Structure 1
Amino acid sequence: MKRALIIGLVVGIAMSAGCVAMADAPAPYVDIGFRHGNLRNAQENIVQAWELVDQAQYANDYQLGGHAARAKELLFEANQELRMAATSANHHGY
């Protein structure tokens, strides 16, 4: 009984990590526009970082202990924050 539960948990965690690993990269230049060059450049770097992490995952057969997938989650969040920063700046007339 306990063994089946543990196996089920391990399989569930592996499947959820795989879903994150297969998620789409942050879309470049979304909602940033040309008014915010520094934010746009930061966003380009996020997209590039995502692609490099993706390549590292592939090169290592996705055996990076979940850390690369977590890095991609954080990159996705950073991309969202940049979009909100641009929206805020637009709202304030900058």
Structure 2
Amino acid sequence: MNVKAIITGIVLAAAVAAPFATMAQDGGPVVDIGYRHGNLRNAQQNIVQAWQLVSDAQIDNDDRLGGHAARAKALLTQADEELRLAADAANRNHW
């Protein structure tokens, strides 16, 4: 593998990871499942996207959603954590 390919890979990885790093800073869910568990990773990516959309809705509605959006975000964070645990269990069971 040549140097140009390595640098390109690093730049692409950084570009993909940047939005998720931002979400991690504000307490939201993160994508931390590797490509080995593609379905679980895809589910995590969808959770991160849903969490961000709920955050956008909160902003658009000036946080006047009766606490339901905040509760949804808490449940999305919990689902994200459960997916991480599922991937960890699969790893322990050599899947």
Over the matched positions of the two proteins, sequence identity in percent amounts to 61
The number of residues matched between the two structures is 70
AA aligned opposite 2:90: A
The answer for the alignment partner of 2:85 in structure 1 is 84
Q: Match of 1:35, SS?
A: helix
Q: Which runs of 5 or more residues in structure 1 are unaligned?
A: 1-22
Q: Normalising by the residue count of structure 1, what TM-score does the alignment of the two structures yield?
A: 0.72
Indicate the residue corresponding to 2:29 in structure 1. 26
Structure ID, larger Rg: 1
What is the rounded CA distance, in whole Å, between the counterparts of 1:65 and 1:39 in structure 2? 31
**Unpaired segments of 5 or more residues in structure 2?**
1-25
Higher helix share: 2
Structure with higher RCO (Cα < 8 A, 6+ apart): 1
Q: What is the CA–CA distance in structure 1 between the aligned matches of 2:58 and 2:70, rounded to whole Å?
A: 8
Q: Deviations over 1:27-84 (max 9, x none)?
A: 12x1x11110000000000000000000000000001000000000000000000000
Distance 1:47 1:75 in 2: 8
State the secondary structure of the residue aligned to 1:36: helix
Matches for 1:32-71 after TM superposition, within 5 Å: 32-71=33-72
Measured in 2, the distance between the counterparts of 1:77 and 1:25 equals 10
- Relative to the length of structure 2, the TM-score reads 0.72
Q: CA deviation at 1:25?
A: 1.5
Taking only aligned residues, the RMSD between alpha carbons, in angstroms, comes to: 0.8
Cα distance in structure 2, aligned partners of 1:43 and 1:27? 7
